[in-house]
């Protein structure tokens, strides 16, 4: 009898704990992200700083998705790479404090090498995960691509919602 009661208690606890641990969907519609991008192309990485500054702004439109505008740049040894990305993103809750992110959009890149400037506008995308630190903050780790080696990289950001 005691074993049965312990078994039922354990079963109830395993059913209740995940529900208690779930994070509510943030009520804030805006977020700002600050972080770094690490270029995946070795020649771009060796020609510029190891990490590039990264800033982003996003707006959540319930029922449609999250629209984000991101900017990043890196420079070094007479070269400067920068790009803007406008994405429509979707989030899917994967675990109590973890969301999966996927987005698609347009990437506008500017490449300046020794005074010669080249512009590229391409289809781009992002995939990754967001880990909630609190109701208004999260860490995001994503892979960002803009269909050109100058815009591909791994992004690590800290987000604040308001």
**The CATH number of the domain where 81 resides is what?**
2.40.160.20
Number of domains in the chain: 1
Does a structural domain hold residue 6? no
Choice among 15-19, 40-44, 122-126, 151-155 with the minimum mean pLDDT? 15-19
Does a structural domain hold residue 113? yes
The pLDDT mean for the chain works out to: 86
DSSP string, 86-128: EEEEEEEEEETTEEEEEEEEEEEEEEEETTEEEEEEEEEEEEE
At 83 the pLDDT is: 94
Does a structural domain hold residue 89? yes
Does a structural domain hold residue 133? yes
> What is the value of pTM for the model shown?
0.79
Domain that holds residue 55: 26-161
CA distance 132 to 154: 19
Does a structural domain hold residue 138? yes
Burial class (CB in 10 A: 0-12, 13-18, 19+), 100: middle
């Amino acid at each position: 009898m005691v074993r049965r009661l312990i078994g039922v208690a354990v079963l109830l606890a395993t059913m209740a704990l995940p529900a208690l641990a779930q994070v509510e969907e943030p009520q804030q519609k805006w977020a700002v992200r600050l972080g770094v991008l690490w270029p995946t192309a070795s020649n771009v990485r060796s020609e510029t700083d190891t990490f590039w500054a990264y800033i982003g702004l996003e707006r959540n439109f319930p029922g449609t998705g999250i629209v984000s505008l991101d900017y990043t740049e890196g420079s070094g040894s007479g070269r400067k790479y920068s790009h803007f990305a406008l994405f429509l993103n979707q989030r899917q809750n994967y675990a109590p404090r973890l969301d999966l992110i996927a987005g698609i959009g347009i990437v506008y890149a500017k490449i300046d090498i020794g005074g010669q400037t080249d512009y590229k506008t391409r289809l781009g995308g992002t995939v990754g995960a967001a880990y909630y630190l609190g109701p208004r903050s999260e860490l995001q780790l994503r892979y960002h691509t803009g269909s050109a080696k100058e815009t591909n990289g791994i992004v690590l950001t800290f987000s604040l919602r308001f």
